[in-house]
Amino acid sequence: MTRDQLLAFVLVVCIFNGIFSPWVLIAVINAPAWMPGFLPYSPGVLFYGSSLLISTMTLLVAGLPAALAERLLDEVTPTAAVWIWLAAAVVMSIPALEAAIALL
C-alpha cells in the first residue's frame, strides 16, 4: 500500500469512530461549550457536529504516537509512521466497533 492509500484508510477509520463512538453522546451534552451560537440546536446539527468533533479528535490523538515515533526513532520511515497512525486509530475505534456491532 502506498502512503496516500494508508492515509485515506486512517481517515475512514476516524470517520467510522466519529459516527459510532460512545463519546458522541458526551459531545452532544457539552455542545454549548464547543458549538457556535449561530448554529441551531437541532438533532441533526448536533449529531453532525459531534461526529465531526470526535472524528477530528481521533485523527489528532491517533497521530501523536506516529509523530513521536518519527521524531524519537531515527529508523522510522514515513510509511511506517502512517502504519503507526493507522494502528492507533484502530485501537481508538474499538468502542465504536463494539457499538456498531451492537446495533446489528
Structure confidence at residue 67 (pLDDT): 95
pLDDT tens digits along 72-102: 998 899 999 999 999 999 999 999 999 999 9
User: For 44-70, what is the mean pLDDT?
Assistant: 96
For the cut 90, the answer to whether the pLDDT of residue 65 exceeds it is: yes
DSSP for 49-83?
HHHHHHHHHHHHHHHHHHHHHHHH-TT--HHHHHH
